[in-house]
Amino acid sequence: MIGILIAFSVSWLLLWLFDKRNLSALGLSFTKSRFRNLLFGFLISAICCAVYFLSIATITKTNLSINANFTEKMFLNSSWWTLKSVFFEELLFRGALLYIGIQKLGVKIACILSAVLFGVYHWFSYNVFDDPVRMIYVFIITGTGGLIFAYAFALTKSLYLPIGLHLGWNLVTIVIFSQGPLGQQFLISSNGQKLSGFLSVVFFLYQILTLPLITYWYLKRQTAKALVATKNNNR
């Protein structure tokens, strides 16, 4: 929680120094449209993630069993930890720095830089420096996610959609399928075969294409609606 407060403080300071703006520049105030973005992002990301893990479990004949020791308190604590980590990362990579980057460098360059930094950041958080192949894999996977999160912020001018997209994937990964730093959570995997060859490529492509393409379609649709609404209001 202290990290989030520090991120808020630094964000406010940067926005004021570079653009004489406050935290409202990050689109944090609640509106119905922003809540819809949050809800859409969370649901579509959670569904894509669940399909990913369930498909792998089915193909590799992995047994998924409910953790008998998983309690409501564990769920709440794990979900809260995941929410805090997502919010901190969004403030850091899609917050003031991205906003300022967009103003100074334009949307395309700023979003690419944000994605690159997000990918490099996960080398540290995943501690993969001893494996060059895994470094490339982590960079592509997280960098692609960072790119679509960045464009979601740039086009909606708010953190709601990127938070929803980020939270949906991380919550299902970490809390539901126990694939994360918190260890065994709701589902426990056992006795599965290793995914390899052509199928590993298919699921790699699924990770880097499915959610970004759906999000891209959603953003294009929202942009088109906004243009129509603007034209109607100007008549």
232 occurs within a structural domain: no
Contact present, 132 and 115 (Cβ < 8 Å): no
Average of pLDDT values for 129-138? 93
The SS3 assignment for 106 reads coil
Contact present, 208 and 140 (Cβ < 8 Å): yes
1-28 residue pLDDT tens: 787 888 889 898 999 999 889 999 999 9
Range ranked top by mean pLDDT from 5-9, 147-151, 179-183:
147-151
CB neighbours of residue 18 within 10 Å: 15
The answer for residues whose C-beta is within 8 angstroms of residue 105's C-beta and 6 or more apart is 113
128 occurs within a structural domain: yes
Tokens of 39: 């809800």
Q: What is the pLDDT of residue 171?
A: 98
86 occurs within a structural domain: yes
Q: How confident is the model at residue 230 (pLDDT cuts 50, 70, 90)?
A: low
Tokens of 60: 């590799």
118 occurs within a structural domain: yes
- Rounded-to-integer distance, Cα 90 and Cα 160, Å: 10
Give the range of the structural domain holding residue 217, as residue numbers without chain letter. 40-225
Question: Which residues in 193-226 are b (16+ Cβ under 10 Å) and which e?
Answer: eeeeeeeeeeeeeebbebbbebbeebbeebeeee
pLDDT at 229 over 90: no
Contact present, 199 and 59 (Cβ < 8 Å): yes
Q: Give the pTM.
A: 0.93
77-95 residue pLDDT tens: 999 999 999 999 999 999 9
pLDDT at 159 over 70: yes
pLDDT at 235 over 80: no
67 occurs within a structural domain: yes
147 occurs within a structural domain: yes
Domain count, the chain: 1
DSSP state, residue 148: H
7 occurs within a structural domain: no
Burial of 49 from C-beta contacts in 10 A (0-12 / 13-18 / 19+): buried
Range with the poorest average pLDDT among 31-45, 134-148, 180-194: 180-194
- Residue appearing with tokens 């399928």: 177
Percent pLDDT > 90 in the chain is: 82
Burial of 46 from C-beta contacts in 10 A (0-12 / 13-18 / 19+): buried
8 occurs within a structural domain: no
pLDDT at 214 over 90: yes
The answer for residues whose C-beta is within 8 angstroms of residue 87's C-beta and 6 or more apart is 4, 163
Average of pLDDT values for 82-109? 95
